[in-house]
Amino acid sequence: MAFDYDLYVIGGGSGGVRAARIAAGEHGAKVGLAEEYRMGGTCVIRGCVPKKLMVYASSFAVSIEEARQFGWTVEAGGFDWPKFRAKLDTELDRLEAAYRGGLTRAGVTIHDTRAVIEDAHSVRLATGERFRVKHVLIATGGRPSVPEVPGGATLLTSNDIFKLDALPASALIVGGGFIACEFACILNGMGVKVTQAYRGPQILRGFDDEARDHLAELIRAQGVDLRTGTDVAEARDVEGGVHVNFTDGSERVFGKVVYATGRVPNTEGLGLETLGLKPGHKGEIVVDEWSQTPVPSVFAVGDVTGRINLTPVAIREGHAFADTIFGARPREADHHLVPSAVYTQPELGTIGLTEAAARAKGPVEIYATTFRPMRSAFAGSPDKVLMKLVVDAGTRKVLGCHIVAPEAGEMIQLAAIAIKMGATKEDFDRTVAVHPTMSEELVTMRKPVRKG
């Protein structure tokens, strides 16, 4: 059977682009790729990259106040959102061009349109073109999920924040996950009066409880009206914004209401039903450890599989797929001990087991400390950082590390190397501290605060 392509990738995000580029550029496969919106996917266009740049922008109000405490004579003007957004758009255009250039140089044929699967070896573009393909890789990512809210109000998602013409005077962020917490801190830092509402008892479900509690206190201290145990009962558009009734009986008008209540895999209309592929309980494409679906010629990587929804994981999955199928180097993507960071202010960096999860497996020792770092203390800030290690009482291996501090994402990346290698608490103890730093506390905690 003659094929038009050895591989056809549906989706131009991080996972799909990496798979296409490696398959074509390193392994000589004939590759086509379809992307219906913009190259780069969620991370580059409406996720990690623009969000992190917004984190940087939102942090300067605190930095300016710190500068005064350190002896500088500085005055802050108002934050110019249109100026920032214009520069942000330019940067995203640059990054998208870089993604396209990488694909083109690797020999990948790009189709800027939607593609659907017609059968195990056929894809059809919205333009009407049809291709016979040996392998299909689905890398369509995910999208924000917004529940039905009584009242019919205009509700935004995280995707919409990047395209606001102006910042509102006030905003309600609904949700308690990392996206909700990050945007609550970002908008608060940019001068928006922010309320964050989450129906659960505490934000960041799934993260370490001690770290969650510590971060929630800091978020409130920065001025975010963080309200747990409540949800939106009704929201309706009114003059000047959105009138919200909460389930606790309170009500308020906000300039904008942003829902960050989860994401769902982008599988609608792909043609999966024609292949007999049934989605998982969250709507994800079910794959095995090789990213292969029950249809041997069809694979999937990234957020659409619902495994670990992080950009570096999608990239690893795409690379492993390309090496396995086209490079004669079979390997699975490693989903064990994946570090991550929540870009709140301050940040939360984490790897490995939470204290609760570790205790469920056996006896542990907990080493933890909170303190005012030198910079904050000198500037008169009451904010404290948290450093925490979860240690197996028997093997002495460090099972988890949780950091709440400025630049925690940078710190957890380095701690992750040691923990991934199987470092014990004694390995940490033998490491000489770098002084004066916040992270030196990771190697100077000698006595556990809890056992059992």
Choosing from 214, 281, 336, 435, the catalytic residue is 435
- C-alpha 91/C-alpha 87 separation (Å) is 6
Q: Is the peptide bond before 346 cis (omega within 30 degrees of 0)?
A: yes
Q: Which two tokens stand for residue 103?
A: 């694909």
Please choose, from the candidates 304, 399, 344, 300, the residue with its C-alpha nearest in 3D space to the C-alpha of residue 212.
344
- The two tokens of residue 346 are 């301050």
Query: Partners of 10 in the beta sheet?
Result: 34, 138
Residue 359 CB neighbour total at 10 angstroms: 15
- Select from 167, 226, 178, 224 the least CA-distant residue to 344: 178
Let me know: does 113 contact 36? Beta carbons within 8 Å: yes
Cβ–Cβ < 8 Å for 52, 341: no
The answer to whether 281 is a known catalytic residue is no
Q: Which long-range contacts (CB under 8 A, 24 or more apart) does 430-438 make?
A: 436/374, 438/373, 438/385, 438/387, 438/405, 438/406, 438/411
What's the rounded Cα separation, in Å, for the pair 200 and 244?
A: 18
Task: Just list the catalytic residues.
Answer: 435
